[in-house]
Amino acid sequence: MNVLDRLAACVALPSPTPPGRVAEVAAWVEAWATGFGASVTRQHIADGADNVLAALRFGDGPRLVFNSHLDVVDPSAQTWATPPYEPVVRDGRMIGRGTCDAKGSLVAMLAAMERLAASPSGLSGEVLLTAVMGEEAGGLGSAHLVAQGLRADAAVVGEPTGLAVARAHKGTYMKRLRFAGRAAHSASPWLGRNAVADAAAFVAATEEETVRLAAYPHEALGPATMTVTVLAGGTLQNTVPEEATLIVDRRLVPGETHDACDAQLAALLSALGVDRPGLEVATPEVVVATVPSETAASSPVVAAALAAVAAAGRPAVRATGFNAGCDMSKLVGAGIPTVICGPGSLAEAHRPDESVPLDEVTDAVGIYEGVARRLLSPGA
pLDDT digits (tens, 9 = 90+) for 260-309: 999 999 999 999 999 999 999 999 999 988 889 999 999 999 999 999 99
Residues 159 and 29 in one domain: yes
Q: Which of 290, 313, 335 is the last residue of a domain?
A: 290
Residues 20 and 142 in one domain: yes
Residues 303 and 159 in one domain: yes
b/e string for 264-281 if b means 16 or more Cβ within 10 A? bbeebbeebeeeeeebeb
Question: For the chain, what is the domain count?
Answer: 2
- Residue 380 domain-assigned (yes or no): no
For the segment 88-101, the average pLDDT, to the nearest whole number, is 98
Residues 6 or more apart from 254 whose CB is under 8 A from it?
168, 218, 221, 292, 293, 294
pLDDT digits (tens, 9 = 90+) for 195-243: 999 999 999 999 999 999 999 999 999 999 999 999 999 999 999 999 9
Residues 29 and 175 in one domain: no
pLDDT digits (tens, 9 = 90+) for 330-352: 999 999 999 999 999 999 999 99
Q: Which of 269, 290, 311 is the last residue of a domain?
A: 290
> Maximum CA pair distance of the chain?
82
Question: What pLDDT score does 70 carry?
Answer: 98
pLDDT digits (tens, 9 = 90+) for 239-267: 999 999 999 999 999 999 999 999 999 99
For the segment 51-71, the average pLDDT, to the nearest whole number, is 98
Residues 201 and 102 in one domain: no
Assess contact for 17 and 73: CB atoms under 8 A.
yes
Question: What pLDDT score does 378 carry?
Answer: 79
Residues 152 and 230 in one domain: no
Q: Over 80: is that where the pLDDT of 380 sits?
A: no
Task: Give residue 140's region: left, alpha or beta (phi > 0; psi -120 to 50).
Answer: alpha
Residues 101 and 138 in one domain: yes
pLDDT digits (tens, 9 = 90+) for 132-150: 999 999 899 999 999 999 9
Residues 160 and 19 in one domain: yes
Assess contact for 338 and 156: CB atoms under 8 A.
yes
pLDDT digits (tens, 9 = 90+) for 15-30: 999 999 999 999 999 9
- Full domain range(s) for residue 248: 171-290
The answer to pTM > 0.85 is yes
Residues 273 and 310 in one domain: no
Distance CA 380, CA 246 (A): 53
